Structure 1
Amino acid sequence: MTKGRVLHVLKYYRPNFTGEGVFLERSSAVMQELAPGVEHDLLVTHTTRPAEPAAACTTLRRVIYLSAQRSSETRRQMALVWWFLRNLHRYDTVHYRTHADWYFLTCLLAAVTRRRLVLSATLDDSVPVLVSHYRPELRGLAKRGFRLFDAFVSISPKLFQQNREAGIGADRCHLVSCGITLPAGEPGGREALRSSLGIAPEDPVLLFVGGLCERKDPRFLIDALPGILARHPRTKLILVGPPLEADYVRGMEQAVATARLGHAVIFAGERMDPHPWFEAADILVFASRLEGFGTVVPEAMAHGLPVVVRHLPGVNDDFVLDGETGYLFNDAPRFLSAVCDLAGDPDLRKRIGTAGRALATARFGMRQVAARYLSIYGMAARPTAVEDAETRLGCTASITDPRFHAATRPAAGPTPLLLTTVDAEEAFDWSGSFSRNACDVSSMKSQHLAHRVFERHGVMPLYMADYPVATQDAGRAPLLELLQGRLCEVGAQMHPWVTPPFLERVDESNSYAGNLPVSLELAKARCLTEALADAFGETPKIYRTGRYGVGPRTADVLKALGYEADSSLAPCWPPPGRRNAPSAWASSPTPYWTDRDKTLMEIPVSAALVGRLHRQGEALAPMVFHKWPRQVPVAGAMSRLGLLERIRLTPEGMTIPEAKRLVRHMLAEGHRVFALTYHSPSLEPGNTPYVRNLAQRDRFLDWLDEFYTFFREEIGGRNGSWRDVRFGNAQGGAV
């Protein structure tokens, strides 16, 4: 697997809106799919550090703001050089997405240390234009400074030609248009959004997407609207984008008021995801006077929208083919004619939109653009594991990255809530290697033994069923009987080695679904979800990654498949690749939202570091729970001394006194939601290390009985469902 680290440098980033920043977020997501070993960091030089971290993209490993407050150009330059001196050794490639170092000092440092240097031209910043901004006596030095770069990326033919005319060799000059990636549309999304805005199905909707500023010229669209309304009086104009220039926006609002267009103009504001607005529209109208590329135009085309855009020679006229894939205009009459023709002719809209979609998807797919960037960085993309199609995944949620987390609401009352989850799975040799042939699910017939205990204590367990259970009658039938009797709930559990498609090598690393290529993780999760829906008549809404092997995009996968909750996190039990990182031991067993939109909730398995040194546990745990030789029982000694132990709420390998210590510790720390878990094969002796014979199975069931009694009678808790946590029915979290 190709490994490396790329530093992207931008002047402005969130909360400041920039098209290049948005493109970086989208392209880094696809680059991560093509080359999982390549990490991407972003250094922001001009936007000051916000109070809240910029949690917009999970595939940007770090977003570093150079300064916490505004500073002079000289001080900013000094800070930039100092940062490079301390951190440049971490990176293989530095990509200046804007010319952020006018003195070339950091460029020189990168060149001297043999880092690959890339410079993008995205608006009016080709090399000859940049050189012209220097004083005449310095232009010779500036030209020599630009020779430090190994590659120049131009996003439009105009910028590419300008760079070539500046004498940049063909081997260093690259034309790479901005790529587009479209999420899967929500069924009925168009109708729902239009209805929420009071727009009838037959009303023609014009859409503008972009920053509200003079350069983009959305005021032109408002001024032209009366002429359109004269012929099509039900037309609506929607303006989606942030107000970048306050005075300009006030002028737009005044123009709307003066012309009495309030009924026809909708200011929708900035939208993190503009795609639903494309789906709701009929025509994209774009009057920008200066663009490096204008990504919203091919995005709209990919959505099947006809486009009417201002002609920018060398920028948009090689893909907006007038009268074929859209319309170009240079003046108001031509704009008015094109929009009115489209507004009144649905068949024309369909013909132009279909041709535009074919061109945009063929030329500007993000997958091919991301592969080009990786090639420019000198980092090869891996061969694709699944069909060469876009995953359409977002990159806005994470199970393990706290930048993206949002707290749930405090519990509605003091009553502790206990969830019981069972990993319903095949039996396999826990001490041997993984095998696709190990699919015995006969232990599912023994689950009724635990239900005798559940019935006494009012427990409705959640069975996290995997693919072999869902697709074999021996696994499916007992669970279906319990489900029909309303004695359980069913969720999904991923064991990748027994879940198709089978495209990966079967080994220890690939037994963790999060280690798989994202496209393959998505394909397997989709297959599992569909198998469970077929088996049990309803689509599962809660998920668990087997072996607690979450990956950087697992939350994005689950959101794409419509899951509402996940239980893949086992605090204090990090997977092998993260065991030595202190941050991996810092996760909390309290439920939390994995995204700022609060659509996917994480409900961790209950586990914690307990003991007199638990406050220092984050730092001590990697050493204490290291895989020491048997002759060095560090963890055992720390536990016996009452200093530090890690306990998980399970009858597998944990004693009742340990479980009680864990619950009391968590209560003292303010936790009110508890999740107990075990594996279904443990109810059939010989399947797991925890139950080797009938006597051990009896003790296993007694453990459950004693724990439920303790939780109810000593703790004053109650049993409940994951839905109580997710939707706020007494122990909450729902928005």
Structure 2
Amino acid sequence: MHSKIIKTQLAVVIHAEEEFDWTRNEFHKKNTQVSHVNEFSEFCLQLLSMGAALTIAVDYPFVADKNAQAVLLRLLKDYPNRVEIASQVHAWVTPPFFHDNKESEYHSYICNLTAEQEFAKIKSLSDFIELNLGVKPTTYLAGRYGIGKNTCNTLKKLGYNTDISLSPFADFTRQQGPDFTETTNQIFSQNGILRWPHTSGVISRSLLVTKWLNRRPQYIKKLLAHNPCLQLTRKLLGLKILRLSPEGVRLKDLKKLAHAQIESGYPNLIFSYHSPSLKQGLTPYVQTAQDLQSFKQETLEFLKWYQDTYDAQFICVQDFTG
């Protein structure tokens, strides 16, 4: 296969976080339960045993949990070159708190806080990670992909060098969040911070159309308009916008999306999921025992397929070489 000659790197990013009801959008600082630590630990070991490297983006409640701390410390000790601890700020559970016990949906996006408040929360989590895990994070993930105009300057001041908060093709403005509809999967630098987007993109029945759209996201909004002709066009093309994640995306589409990104000129990918998806009933993606089995199996199968097909290198985000 000609794509084997392309140098490709893949980072597995785990959003290690507390459990809350995704359907109710209740962003309460008391939502700190982490009951899935054992499931998280077991699957991390499975991934590592197959040769994967893990970037574990931890939020405040996850680090505060003593069982999670023990798991993370063990992973760092046993796999020092293949486990990275990144920070993930969920504004509603990260001190200092500015809005009583519950955040509005607007303030659940940390980019909607003032520059001073955003700085305080990122610093708080960074210091907490260093205190409890003995590592200083250099990779940052904004919870809910809430990256804003002040974030890169804050990250630079706090010693970060990489941000993975961009979510190509996604529009969170209905939830008062950011709009990434004109963002591609291109990796670039901004104010001294490497910006590596969470891999998302277009697939369709036509590789030519797929490549064209993945490079020109400004046309996606037009194609998604409520227009009968465009709806028919989308159906005929089999057009889908997906994230490279086992959450709600089946194995065949994960393969299509990875191939489409590489063919579109974006060979360095992020494969991601949320840690609560490793326990039945905690996220919308894993509600049944069958869901859980499929989630794990298809994750393992995708990673093996990707490595075999593209002779890919599994890396931590911090080890990206360009």
Q: TM-score, length-normalised on structure 1? A: 0.40
> Is the Cα contact below 8 Å between 1:490 and 1:540 reproduced in 2?
yes
User: 3-state DSSP class of the match of 2:258?
Assistant: helix
> Is the Cα contact below 8 Å between 2:106 and 2:177 reproduced in 1?
no
Please tell me whether residue 539 in structure 1 is matched to residue 131 in structure 2. Answer: no
Distance in 1 (CA, whole Å) between partners of 2:37 and 2:306 is 26
Matched to 1:589, the amino acid is N
Asked which structure has the greater CA Rg, the reply is 1
* Post-superposition CA distance 1:389-427 (Å, at most 9, x none): xxxxxxxxxxxxxxxxxxxxxxxx832111100000001
* Post-superposition CA distance 1:265-296 (Å, at most 9, x none): xxxxxxxxxxxxxxxxxxxxxxxxxxxxxxxx
Relative distance call for 1:452 and 1:591 in structure 2 (3 A) is: same
Matched to 1:656, the amino acid is L
User: 3-state DSSP class of the match of 1:442?
Assistant: coil
1:158 counterpart residue number: none
Q: 1:586 aligns with which of 182, 186, 189?
A: 182
Matched to 2:289, the amino acid is L
Superposition pairs for residues 228-243 of structure 1, below 5 Å?
Answer: none
Deviates more, 1:570-579 or 1:471-480: 570-579
Distance in 2 (CA, whole Å) between partners of 1:490 and 1:417 is 18
> Is the Cα contact below 8 Å between 1:579 and 1:622 reproduced in 2?
no
1:483 counterpart residue number: 76
User: 3-state DSSP class of the match of 2:103?
Assistant: coil
Structure 2: stretches of 5+ with no match in the other structure: none
Offset, 1:694: 2.3
Distance in 2 (CA, whole Å) between partners of 1:462 and 1:638 is 39
> Is the Cα contact below 8 Å between 1:442 and 1:474 reproduced in 2?
no
Distance in 2 (CA, whole Å) between partners of 1:633 and 1:648 is 26
Relative distance call for 1:719 and 1:635 in structure 2 (3 A) is: farther
* Higher helix fraction (1 or 2): 2
Matched to 2:13, the amino acid is T
Distance in 2 (CA, whole Å) between partners of 1:644 and 1:696 is 24
Offset, 1:700: 0.6
* Post-superposition CA distance 1:587-636 (Å, at most 9, x none): 121221112xxx3111111111233545356344335557x7xxx99998
Please tell me whether residue 710 in structure 1 is matched to residue 305 in structure 2. Answer: yes
> Is the Cα contact below 8 Å between 2:105 and 2:175 reproduced in 1?
no
> Is the Cα contact below 8 Å between 1:425 and 1:441 reproduced in 2?
yes
2:289 counterpart residue number: 694
2:13 counterpart residue number: 421
> Is the Cα contact below 8 Å between 1:436 and 1:498 reproduced in 2?
yes
Superposition pairs for residues 268-417 of structure 1, below 5 Å?
Answer: 414-417=6-9
* Post-superposition CA distance 1:528-579 (Å, at most 9, x none): 1111111110111100001111111111111111101110011111321699
Please tell me whether residue 502 in structure 1 is matched to residue 94 in structure 2. Answer: no
Q: 2:200 aligns with which of 586, 589, 607?
A: 607
1:458 counterpart residue number: 51
Please tell me whether residue 679 in structure 1 is matched to residue 278 in structure 2. Answer: no
1:449 counterpart residue number: 42
> Is the Cα contact below 8 Å between 2:83 and 2:316 reproduced in 1?
no
Offset, 1:718: 2.3
Relative distance call for 1:607 and 1:681 in structure 2 (3 A) is: same
1:572 counterpart residue number: 169
> Is the Cα contact below 8 Å between 1:442 and 1:475 reproduced in 2?
no
> Is the Cα contact below 8 Å between 2:198 and 2:271 reproduced in 1?
yes
* Post-superposition CA distance 1:182-236 (Å, at most 9, x none): xxxxxxxxxxxxxxxxxxxxxxxxxxxxxxxxxxxxxxxxxxxxxxxxxxxxxxx
Offset, 1:654: 0.8
Percent identical pairs in the alignment equals: 27
User: 3-state DSSP class of the match of 1:682?
Assistant: helix
CA RMSD of aligned residues (A): 2.6
2:243 counterpart residue number: 648
Relative distance call for 1:421 and 1:562 in structure 2 (3 A) is: same
2:145 counterpart residue number: 548
Distance in 1 (CA, whole Å) between partners of 2:27 and 2:230 is 28
Distance in 2 (CA, whole Å) between partners of 1:637 and 1:657 is 23
Offset, 1:645: 1.8
> Is the Cα contact below 8 Å between 1:711 and 1:718 reproduced in 2?
no
Distance in 1 (CA, whole Å) between partners of 2:148 and 2:75 is 32
* Post-superposition CA distance 1:322-377 (Å, at most 9, x none): xxxxxxxxxxxxxxxxxxxxxxxxxxxxxxxxxxxxxxxxxxxxxxxxxxxxxxxx
> Is the Cα contact below 8 Å between 2:87 and 2:140 reproduced in 1?
yes
1:526 counterpart residue number: 123
Give the number of the structure with larger relative contact order, counting CA–CA contacts within 8 Å between residues 6 or more apart: 2
Distance in 2 (CA, whole Å) between partners of 1:491 and 1:556 is 18
Offset, 1:434: 1.8
Distance in 2 (CA, whole Å) between partners of 1:578 and 1:552 is 18
Please tell me whether residue 621 in structure 1 is matched to residue 217 in structure 2. Answer: no
Q: 2:252 aligns with which of 649, 657, 662?
A: 657
Superposition pairs for residues 462-473 of structure 1, below 5 Å?
Answer: 462-473=55-66
> Is the Cα contact below 8 Å between 1:624 and 1:635 reproduced in 2?
yes
Structure 1: stretches of 5+ with no match in the other structure: 1-412
Matched to 1:622, the amino acid is K
Q: TM-score, length-normalised on structure 2? A: 0.87
Matched to 2:265, the amino acid is G
Matched to 2:125, the amino acid is L
* Aligned length in residues: 307
* Post-superposition CA distance 1:93-122 (Å, at most 9, x none): xxxxxxxxxxxxxxxxxxxxxxxxxxxxxx
2:88 counterpart residue number: 493
> Is the Cα contact below 8 Å between 1:580 and 1:622 reproduced in 2?
no
* Post-superposition CA distance 1:488-532 (Å, at most 9, x none): 221100100001111136111111110111111111111011111
2:159 counterpart residue number: 562
Relative distance call for 1:610 and 1:523 in structure 2 (3 A) is: same
User: 3-state DSSP class of the match of 2:19?
Assistant: coil
Relative distance call for 1:635 and 1:688 in structure 2 (3 A) is: farther
Relative distance call for 1:475 and 1:430 in structure 2 (3 A) is: same
Relative distance call for 1:580 and 1:701 in structure 2 (3 A) is: closer
Deviates more, 1:477-486 or 1:648-657: 477-486
Distance in 2 (CA, whole Å) between partners of 1:524 and 1:416 is 34
Offset, 1:638: 5.7
Distance in 1 (CA, whole Å) between partners of 2:56 and 2:259 is 26
